[in-house]
Amino acid sequence: MLFLLSGIFQFSFAQQLGHMSTWSSHQFAINPAHTGIKTCLEAQGTVRGQWIGFDGAPYTGWFSVSAPLKAKRKNFLSARHGLGGLMYADKIGPFQQFSFFLNYAGHFNFSQTSRLSLGIAAGATQLSFDKELANPLEPDPVINGSATQLTPDARFGAWFNTENYYFGLALYNLIPNKWDKIGRDAKSSFHGMFNAGTRISIDQNHAILPALYLGFAPNSTIDLQVQAVADFRGRFNLGVGLRNTDALIFLLGYRFEEKWRLMYSYDFVLSTLRPGTYHSHELTLAFSPCTRKIISTKGGSKCPLFE
């Protein structure tokens, strides 16, 4: 525990954003280009407990609301726009972080089935440190003591999709900030994310959804996730994934009453932390009144990411 906290105090680790395993079900949480990408409102919440049972383990939550702006479209090539908001909370050891963003995105169709989306997010991040929870064995000169600091924050996202595949890119912590109230060398670090996925139709009612996530930050190990999810009639999902730094991931999802969607992930810890934990758990709940559309030309329903 002391080694973990020591790394946090020095901010020698560059990965300052929480992990997410159900990111393919909550794209708006990781990419502002998803703001208003659907034709109606969407609200989503994700909660994650990582390394359950480990002293000072991370607990993370995301909540987002997104909606398109009403606009008269002369044809399918006309631009659409969206507005939304995202709240993010994270607690690890003596640190607590809370962020709030207002998001805007523009969506530009090149054809009836291909689209480029660009999004920005602006807000603020509050970082708090409780020295009493750190319990250092002796005074550490790089720690200024318990404190709370509020700083501006911004993100950018880009997204391109067709009927059956997508690419996404997001950049985080675009406003450099020093957390001088908390530590002598503490500061925010630039982060980036690239993800991609495709839809492989088996028949009219079944498909496989392979996807890849790549997170990167200066002086940090690349966070690589690969996953494959089987989609049954657009209602039931079952999948498996792998995170290179930490876990084997099992995914389970279900859509009920058409408007609600639930996704659960169980991360079996592969790192040296495994003996002291009950592994990691994550739950995503989404609501959207959008009607699922059927693609008659190809005999199947769209991947839920694109509806």
The pLDDT tens digits for 214-248 are 999 988 889 999 999 999 988 899 999 999 978 99
**What pLDDT, on a 0 to 100 scale, did the predictor assign at position 303?**
42
**What pLDDT, on a 0 to 100 scale, did the predictor assign at position 301?**
38
For 120-152, b/e burial (b = at least 16 CB within 10 A) is: bbbbebebbbeeeebeeeeebeebbeebebebe
**What pLDDT, on a 0 to 100 scale, did the predictor assign at position 250?**
97
Per-residue pLDDT reduced to its tens digit, 101-127? 999 999 988 887 788 999 999 999 999
> What is the rounded average pLDDT of the residues 24-36?
95
**What pLDDT, on a 0 to 100 scale, did the predictor assign at position 227?**
96
- Tell me the pLDDT of the chain averaged across its residues: 84
**pLDDT above 60 (res 298):** no
* Helical segments of 79-202, H only: 131-134
**pLDDT above 80 (res 67):** yes
Q: Which of 32-46, 102-116, 122-136 has the lowest mean pLDDT?
A: 122-136
Identify which has the larger pLDDT, 275 or 172.
172
Identify which has the larger pLDDT, 307 or 194.
194
Identify which has the larger pLDDT, 76 or 60.
60
Long-range CB contact pairs, 80-86, < 8 A, 24+: 80/36, 80/106, 80/107, 80/109, 81/36, 81/105, 81/106, 81/107, 82/35, 82/36, 82/37, 82/107, 82/119, 83/35, 83/36, 84/28, 84/35, 84/36, 86/28, 86/29, 86/32, 86/62, 86/121, 86/123
> What is the rounded average pLDDT of the residues 166-186?
86
Identify which has the larger pLDDT, 294 or 168.
168
And the tokens for 196? Answer: 């991609």
When pLDDT is cut at 50, 70 and 90, the band that residue 280 belongs to is very high
State the Cα angle at 289 between 107 and 122, rounded to 5°: 45
> What is the rounded average pLDDT of the residues 246-274?
90
**What pLDDT, on a 0 to 100 scale, did the predictor assign at position 136?**
61
**What pLDDT, on a 0 to 100 scale, did the predictor assign at position 14?**
43
Q: Which of 89-103, 140-154, 289-303 has the lowest mean pLDDT?
A: 289-303
**What pLDDT, on a 0 to 100 scale, did the predictor assign at position 179?**
81
**What pLDDT, on a 0 to 100 scale, did the predictor assign at position 191?**
94
Q: Domains for the chain: give ranges and CATH numbers.
A: 2-306 (2.40.160.40)
**What pLDDT, on a 0 to 100 scale, did the predictor assign at position 113?**
78
When pLDDT is cut at 50, 70 and 90, the band that residue 88 belongs to is very high
**pLDDT above 50 (res 37):** yes
- Give the span between the Cα atoms of 109 and 78, in whole angstroms: 7
**What pLDDT, on a 0 to 100 scale, did the predictor assign at position 84?**
97
Q: Which of 74-83, 171-180, 239-248, 283-292 has the lowest mean pLDDT?
A: 74-83
| Identity of the highest mean pLDDT range in 69-83, 188-202, 261-275 | 188-202
For 154-168, b/e burial (b = at least 16 CB within 10 A) is: bbbbbbbbebbbbeb
When pLDDT is cut at 50, 70 and 90, the band that residue 293 belongs to is low
